[in-house]
Amino acid sequence: MADERLIVALDFHKFDDVKNLVGELGDSVIFYKVGMELFYSVGAGVVEWLKSQNKKIFLDLKLHDIPNTVAGGLCSLMKLGADILNVHAAGGFTMLKTAAEALREESAKLGIAKPKLIAITILTSINQAEWYGAQKISEQVVQFAKIAQDAGLEGVVASPQEAKLIRENCGEKFLIVTPGIRPAGSAVNDQSRISTPAAAIQNGANYLVVGRPIRAADNPKFAAEKILAEISEV
């Protein structure tokens, strides 16, 4: 049985690569992430195709603009039928609240299921040395998470290293989606605030986003199944 907690990032620019990986992973993986590389090169058709394969979709386009523009953009994206959409928490409380309300109103008006809206806190590629904020990264992440929750969003994207703090501060129902997942021994690439799949789940993550450790593996299906086995043992 597929475990929804694993979201595989489809960071490709060719549709054929998407079809090959999704076909290869088969029933093991049900949730996929479509990010800007794929969406900008292939377009909305990829979301439609994934839905036709009965897959769930996190459309990771990280909107960040003034409230009215983000709200309008999200309402357009919502019609594609993704399960999760996201915005940058740095856009501020008013932007987050306007976005959440617009999605609620538009989905009710159209009679379609409302996607979950989550906020990016601080990118998992940023480390403390590169960080420019006045407070520690973990403090800023928790502050962003609380703002997103107050604004009516369902969750956040954060590093697995901050999952525990967010869980403590935002409660059991708040969704925590963690990229920056690296199974023991795999390449770190451009990520910084990483953890293993098991540690992310132990610290309270609901969903793990995994890209290169699966996509770039010699045997992607084996790599995915190893991660699934690791999280099922937690």
Is residue 189 involved in binding ligand C5P (CB under 6 A)? yes
For ligand C5P, the binding residue among 138, 149, 191, 203 (CB under 6 A) is: 191
CB of 111 to ligand C5P, least distance (A): 31
Are the CB atoms for 103 and 115 separated by under 8 Å?
yes
User: Shortest CA distance to 158 belongs to which of 215, 198, 206?
Assistant: 206
36: how many CB neighbours lie within 10 A of its CB? 11
Nearer Cβ to ligand C5P (106/210) = 210
Are the CB atoms for 58 and 32 separated by under 8 Å?
yes
Nearer Cβ to ligand C5P (35/220) = 35
Half-sphere exposure in the Cβ direction for 122 (13 Å, CA): 27
Are the CB atoms for 224 and 158 separated by under 8 Å?
no
3-state secondary structure of 75: helix
CB of 105 to ligand C5P, least distance (A): 27
Active site residue 62: yes
Residues 142-181 that bind ligand C5P (CB under 6 A): 157, 179-180
Residues 196-225 that bind ligand C5P (CB under 6 A): 209-213
Name the active-site residue from 19, 56, 62, 116: 62
Which residues are within 8 A (CB) of 76 and not within 5 positions of it... i.e. 6 or more apart? none
Using CB under 6 A, count the residues that bind ligand C5P.
Answer: 17
C-alpha span between 206 and 82 (Å, rounded): 18
The site map against ligand C5P for 86-125 (x = CB under 6 A) is: ----------------------------------x--xx-
Three-state secondary structure of 148-210: HHHCCCCEEECCHHHHHHHHHHHCCCCEEEECCECCCCCCCCCCCCCECHHHHHHCCCCEEEE
Nearer Cβ to ligand C5P (50/106) = 50
Nearer Cβ to ligand C5P (9/42) = 9
Nearer Cβ to ligand C5P (82/120) = 120
Residues with catalytic function: 62
Which residues sit at the interface with ligand C5P, rule CB under 6 A?
9, 11, 35, 60, 120, 123-124, 157, 179-180, 189, 191, 209-213
